[in-house]
Each structure stands twice: as C-alpha cells, then as structure tokens.
Amino acid sequence: MTTILDFLAAIGRPVIGLCRAAGALAVFAAVGLSHLFRPPFYGRLFARALLEIGYFSLPVVALTAVFTGMVLALQSYTGFARFSAQGAVANLVVLSVTRELGPVLAGLMVAGRIGAAMAAEIGTMRVTDQIDALSTLSTNPMKYLVAPRLLAGIIALPLLVVVADILGVLGGFIVSTLKLGFNVDSYVTNTVNFVQFDDVLSGLVKAAVFGFIIALMGCYQGYNSKGGAQGVGAATTSAVVSASILILAFDYVLTEMFFAQ
C-alpha cells in the first residue's frame, strides 16, 4: 500500500506543479492583456519594443524565408519528378510558405532572438530590484514592462510574416526558374491562381498568436526570475524553450481550427 501511495505521490507532484505553473502563466497573461485597454499608455516603450521585435528581426527572418523557399522548391521538385507532377512545385511552395513555414519559422527565429532578450532584460531588472523600484514610484510594472511588449509582439510578427511569405515564395521562384527550368509566366500564373486569401489569413493569425506567445514567455520568465545572474540565465533559456514548444503546439491547434474538415 505504501509503495502505491509513493508512486501516486511521485506522479502527482509534477502534475500539480504543471497545473500551478499553467495557472500562474494564465493569470499573468490575463493581467498583461487587461492593461492594454486601460490608461496610461506608454507609447514610447511600445514603439521601442515594436522596433526591436520587427525591424531588427527582419534580416534573420528574411534570410530564413528565402533559403527555406529555395530548399522547398528543390526538394518538392525531386519528389514530384517521380510522379511526373513537376508543375505542382509552385503550388506546394506558396501553400507551404503562407500556411506553415512562414509563421512557424519566423516565430522560432524571433523567439530565439527576442524572447531571450526580453527575459534577460526584465530578469536583470528583477534581480537588481528595479521592478520593486517601479512600484515604489507608483508605476505598475505590468503596464510599464509587459503590456507594451505584448502589444508589440502581436503586431510585429504578422508584419514579419508578410515579408517572410513574399521572400519565401520569391526564393522558390528563383530556384524554379533559374535552376529547374520553369517558365516564368506559367510559374507566376500557377502561384497567383492557386493561393487563396484564407491561406494567407491563417498564417497571419498564427503569427499574431505566436508573437503574443513569444512576448508573454519572455516577460513571464524574466519577471519571475530569481537567484542573481544564474537565475537570469535560466530564465533566458526557459523563455526560448517554452516559447518554441508553445509555438509548435499552437501551430497544430490553429491548423486544426482553420483546415480540419
């Protein structure tokens, strides 16, 4: 009997811990979102976060999208050639980039760059008592530190995904026309005729959710960090890993919502 109770306790502890962490994260997200609709609004902090998430992430997202489109065209051509269906390369590239690869790869790249930076910055403020100083100065830390970043993430990532979609399709077009011998006019026609507004819209909705997740995990891990420099490092790692996992998980959930029959 004691062995069974010990076994159940060993299983129950991590489950309870996971539920506690999920609840704390949900409360943190709800409080952060509530401050988006209540004054005061820190426009300068929002603009700074938008610049950091959007503009400064543009090079890595652009390069990732271009080379992904190129590789996708090469790989799909190799596979379709076995069934004499090379004409479907353009369709596959535009569909894959707009629905999945654009938002997911952009989200993962931004998570590695911005999620870590947010966690490190806010975590450093936490362990050096700067967050407590904000409260002493009658400034709500959630409104000052978290809300602008959440809003910037929701807005910036869809803009990055628009660029990623264009460049990803362009990468596939370059490889298909210059290396694989596709006719330029027919490739462009197939791409334009095949892509639908719902494909692009689903990718942008995913991007907005991913942007929120990245900003949320960066802020949450940094805000709750402790233990000095070592704690800040752990928070940075946790922010990137948790954001990446949640992006992949929510990608499935959103795909199920948009395209399940």
Least confident of 11-25, 196-210, 227-241: 11-25
In this prediction, residues 161-173 reach a mean pLDDT of 93
Cα 92 from Cα 208, distance rounded (Å): 24
pLDDT of 92: 85
pLDDT of residue 23: 87
Question: Counting every residue, how long is the chain?
Answer: 261
Q: Which amino acid type is present at position 80?
A: F
Query: Which residues contact residue 196 at a Cβ distance below 8 angstroms, ignoring those fewer than 6 apart?
Result: none
16 CB-near residues (< 8 Å, 6+ apart) = none
DSSP string, 159-207: HHHHHHHHHHHHHHHHHHHHTS---HHHHHHHHHHH--HHHHHHHHHHH
As a dihedral over the C-alpha atoms of residue 237, residue 243, residue 249, residue 255, rounded to 10 degrees, the angle is -150
Q: What angle do CA 179, 83, 68 make, to 5 degrees?
A: 40
Report d(CA 141, CA 81) in Å as an integer: 57
Distance separating alpha carbons of residues 36 and 149, to the nearest angstrom: 10
Separation between Cα atoms, residue 191 and residue 88, nearest integer Å: 10
DSSP string computed for 78-93: HHHHTTT-GGGHHHHH
Place of tokens 């506690």: 20
* Each residue's pLDDT tens digit, 109-134: 999 989 889 999 999 888 888 888 88
State the pTM of this model. Answer: 0.90
| pLDDT cut 90: percent of the chain above it | 40
